[in-house]
Amino acid sequence: MLNKKSFNIFLVALSGILWGLIGLFTTPLKSAGIDSISVIAVRSLLTAIMLGIILLIFNKKLFKIRLRDLWQFIGMGIVSFAFFNICYLKSMELNNSLGTACILMYTAPIFIMLLSAILFKEKITPLKIICLVLALLGCALISGGGSVTPLGSIFGLGSGIGYGLYSIFSIYALRKYSFFTATFYAFCFSAAGLAPFCDWEKVITATTADYSTALLFLGLAALITVLPYIIYTCGLRIVPASEASVIACVEPLVAALVGLMVYDQTMGISGLIGMGFILLAVVILSYKK
């Protein structure tokens, strides 16, 4: 029988697993000629709509927020999700390497651990540092090396900061609001922030020409966004942000397995060792004395 902490750790890990399946949806969407920022913008919009319908059906009171708390949702949606994705894509482009961009993005736990220590007085224990090093080393081994440019490094670190800030802003929002409310408004602001960068004409043309494209967008929003972001935000009620960020590192592990089994991508010994390091970090943080 899982205790409360273990159950919430499971939720955080499950969200990482679902995020790791994103390639099953984004790869065919890109093959349809839709650029990455447009994919993210539509994903955010559909997510906001789906969450809005859920709130409308089950509890309309959850729409109510205070204007003075808007900064928390702007932080989650624009400063974190939209900013992270734009920086991540630019890092991939400038470094010409998905592996390098992934390594730089997974500096997020470092920023979370430092910010959590400053803002929430979370202790940086030797065990957390060991798990952090294991997780980052695992991500590096799975992703592989790549060339790094100075500007690409800046955007890569920016993606790590943006990725990590979601946990920080979520903790503030969850002190006053339901995780449904927090996630809904986060994606409303994310959609608004990304809308000017979206090629809406291309999106409409692609979805009307082939209905499977529309189904891919719906699956991306429902299974890879709505569900994991809700359960991750829910898990943050109990799991400290610094621990959650490491546990969610199962994402590249799952992504690597998808590439291996679905897209016939090869993985060497270093990749397998990296997967082991990530699993070890998650197990150590999940273990309760």
The pLDDT-based confidence of 142 (bands split at 50, 70, 90) is low
Give the residue-averaged pLDDT of 141-161: 72
Query: What is the structure's pLDDT at 103?
Result: 66
Query: Taken in order 16, 33, 81, 103, is the CA torsion positive or negative?
Result: positive
Query: What is the structure's pLDDT at 146?
Result: 52
pLDDT over 80 at 80, yes or no: yes
pLDDT over 60 at 97, yes or no: no
The pLDDT-based confidence of 65 (bands split at 50, 70, 90) is very high
User: 68 versus 157: which is more confidently predicted?
Assistant: 68
List Cα–Cα distances, 235 to 147, 232, 245, 247, in angstroms: 36, 5, 11, 11
Q: What whole-number percentage of the chain has pLDDT above 90? A: 22
C-alpha 13/C-alpha 240 separation (Å) is 13
Whether residue 138 contacts residue 278, with contact meaning beta carbons closer than 8 Å, is answered with yes
Query: What is the structure's pLDDT at 250?
Result: 76
- Among the residue ranges 106-115, 228-237, 266-275, the one predicted with the least confidence is 266-275
pLDDT over 50 at 166, yes or no: yes
Query: What is the structure's pLDDT at 289?
Result: 44
Query: What is the structure's pLDDT at 20?
Result: 80
Query: What is the structure's pLDDT at 133?
Result: 83
Give the residue-averaged pLDDT of 156-182: 84
Name the amino acid, one letter, at 45: L
User: 22 versus 104: which is more confidently predicted?
Assistant: 22
Neighbours of 14 (CB within 10 A): 18
Query: What is the structure's pLDDT at 153?
Result: 76
Give the residue-averaged pLDDT of 45-69: 93
Query: What is the structure's pLDDT at 256?
Result: 67
Query: What is the structure's pLDDT at 168?
Result: 83
User: 276 versus 55: which is more confidently predicted?
Assistant: 55
Render pLDDT for 247-266 as a digit per residue (tens, 0 to 9). 776 776 777 677 667 766 56
User: 208 versus 247: which is more confidently predicted?
Assistant: 208
Query: Taken in order 227, 19, 280, 238, is the CA torsion positive or negative?
Result: negative
Of the candidates 116, 94, 119, 118, the residue with the CA atom closest to the CA atom of residue 104: 94
Name the amino acid, one letter, at 105: M
Q: What is the mean pLDDT of the chain?
A: 81
Query: What is the structure's pLDDT at 111?
Result: 76
The pLDDT-based confidence of 217 (bands split at 50, 70, 90) is very high
The SS3 call for residue 88 is: helix
The pLDDT-based confidence of 23 (bands split at 50, 70, 90) is confident
Query: What is the structure's pLDDT at 221?
Result: 93
pLDDT over 90 at 87, yes or no: no
The SS3 call for residue 99 is: helix
Q: Record the tokens describing residue 195, joined without a space.
A: 């809308």
- Burial grade of 229 (CB within 10 A; 0-12, 13-18, 19 or more): buried
Whether residue 138 contacts residue 274, with contact meaning beta carbons closer than 8 Å, is answered with yes
